[in-house]
Structure 1
Amino acid sequence: MTLRRIAILGAESSGKSTLARALAERYVTGWVPEYLREFVLTRERVPMSSDQYFIASMQAQREDAAAQDAQRWLFCDTTPLMTAVYSQHYFGGADVPLVVLVATRRYDLTIVTAPDSPWVADGLQRDSDEVRQQVHRLLLAELSARGTPYVLVSGELEQRVAQVADALAAL
C-alpha cells in the first residue's frame, strides 16, 4: 500500500504537534515531530536567518527517515514550507536553498490548524497571539499563491481529528 504524507501546517501554538500525535495514534502509524523545537531547546536560542535551511533540511531528513517505518499515513508536524513562511515573516524572505527544498517536497494532503485555541507561551520559541495570527494569514496567502489545496481544521482536538479523518477518507 502506498504511503501518504500528510502535511500539518500552522502558526505557533495552534495544535500541530498535538494533532499529529493524535492522528498517529488513531491510525497506528508514524509522525514526524517539529525539528525547530529541538533546535531551540538544544541551542538555547531562536534561529537566525542563516539557520533556516538547516532547520528545514533536518525536518525533511527526519520525515524521510520516518517514512521507512510508517504504515499507510505519515503525519508531518510541519514541513519545510512552514520554515519558509517563518523566514518571510522574520527575515523578509527565504534563501535559494530553502526555496529549492520547499519546491522538492510533495504531500498528499495539507492540513492547516486554525489559531483558535488559547495562545500559550513556550519559552524562546513563541512570540504572541498577534504574531500567531499574522503567521496564519501569511501561511494561507502562501498556500493560495502556490495553488496548494488545504483543509483548515478547527475546534477541540476530537473535532480536528474527525475533520482530518473525513479528508483522509476522501483521498
Structure 2
Amino acid sequence: MLRIALTGPESTGKTTLSRQLAEQYHTAWAPEYARQYLEERGPEYTLTDLEAIARGQLQAEEAAMQQAQQLGKPVVFLDTDLSVIKIWAEHAFGQCPEWILRQIAQHHYDLVLLLNVDLPWEPDPLREHPNHRQYFYDLYQRELHSQVANFAEISGTPAQRLAQACFHVDELLQAAESSRPNSA
C-alpha cells in the first residue's frame, strides 16, 4: 500500500486536493482529524489536545488504509500527517511530546506533497495565522528535508495542483509496479 500524505500551512488546499486525488484514483483518503476535533470542542487547544489529535490522525490513517485495501487499491491519500502536529506543538508550546516524535520517525510515507502558500487565504474560525504562511511553509520544507522524505512541492491554481500531484502519484505508481516481482 502506497501512502501519500499532503502537508503544508493552513489554507493551502490540502483537504480539497486529498479528496480530488482519492476520486481520481478511486481510493480512500483520511481527512484531517484536527478539524473534526476542534469543530466539536472549539478552536482553543492545549498540548494535551494536540496529543489527542495526533492519536485521532493515526486512527484515521489506519482506517483509510483498511478501506483502500478493501477496495483493492494500491494507494491511499492522507490529508495531513504528524509533522503538522509537531510544528504546531513546537510553535504554540515550545515542545512536542516525545511519543509523537517517535511516531514521525517510524511512519514512512511513500510520497509527501507539500502545498505552497500561493492560493489566497480563506478565512475559517479554526485557522490562526493568515500572515505567517510562508514562515510555516519554510518550517514544513525544513522538516521534510530533515526526515530525508520523498516529497514534491505543489503550487499554482487548483487545476495545476491536481495535475502536478497526479504526475507525482503516477510516477510513484509506475515505479512501484515496475519493482514488483513478475512485473517485467
**TM-score for both structures, normalised by structure 2:** 0.87
- Displacement of 1:134 in angstroms is 1.7
Structure 1 residue 74 corresponds to structure 2 residue 72 = no
Equivalent residue for 1:94?
A: 96
1:115, distance to aligned residue in structure 2 (A): 0.8
Other structure's SS at 1:8 match: strand
**SS in structure 1 of the partner of residue 132 of structure 2:** helix
Question: How many matched pairs?
Answer: 168
Structure 2 CA distance for aligned equivalents of residues 100 and 128 of structure 1: 27
Q: How many percent identity over aligned positions?
A: 35
Partner of 1:163: 164
Aligned to 1:132: 133
3-state SS, counterpart of residue 167 of structure 1: helix
User: 1:99 is paired with a residue of what secondary structure?
Assistant: helix
Q: For 1:123-146, what per-residue CA distance to the aligned partner results, in whole angstroms no more than 9, with x for missing partners?
A: 1x2123222222111111111122
Q: Residue type matched to 1:136 in 2?
A: Y
Larger Rg: 2
Please give the per-residue CA displacement for 1:46-73, whole angstroms capped at 9, x wherever unaligned: 3211222221111011111111111221
CA RMSD between the two structures: 1.2
Report if aligned partners of 2:30, 2:63 keep a CA contact under 8 Å in 1.
no
Task: Report the alpha carbon displacement of residue 170 of structure 1 after superposing the two structures with TM.
Answer: 1.8
SS at match of 1:74: strand
Distance 1:49 1:131 in 2: 21
Which sections of structure 1, spanning at least 5 residues, go unmatched? none
Tell whether the 8 Å contact from 1:8 to 1:78 is kept in structure 2 after alignment: yes
Question: Is contact 2:110–2:150 with CA below 8 Å preserved after alignment?
Answer: no
- Distance, in Å, in 2 between the alignment partners of 1:131 and 1:163 is 25
> Counterpart of 2:103 in structure 1: which amino acid?
L
Q: Which residue of 2 aligns with 1:152?
A: 153
Amino acid at match of 2:131: E
Structure 1 segments of 4+ aligned residues over 2 angstroms from their partners: none
Aligned to 1:58: 56
Are 2:114 and 1:105 aligned? no
- Asked if 1 retains the 8 angstrom alpha-carbon contact of 2:112 and 2:152, the reply is yes
Amino acid at match of 1:117: L
What is the CA–CA distance in structure 2 between the aligned matches of 1:137 and 1:15, rounded to whole Å?
Answer: 17
2:116 partner letter: A
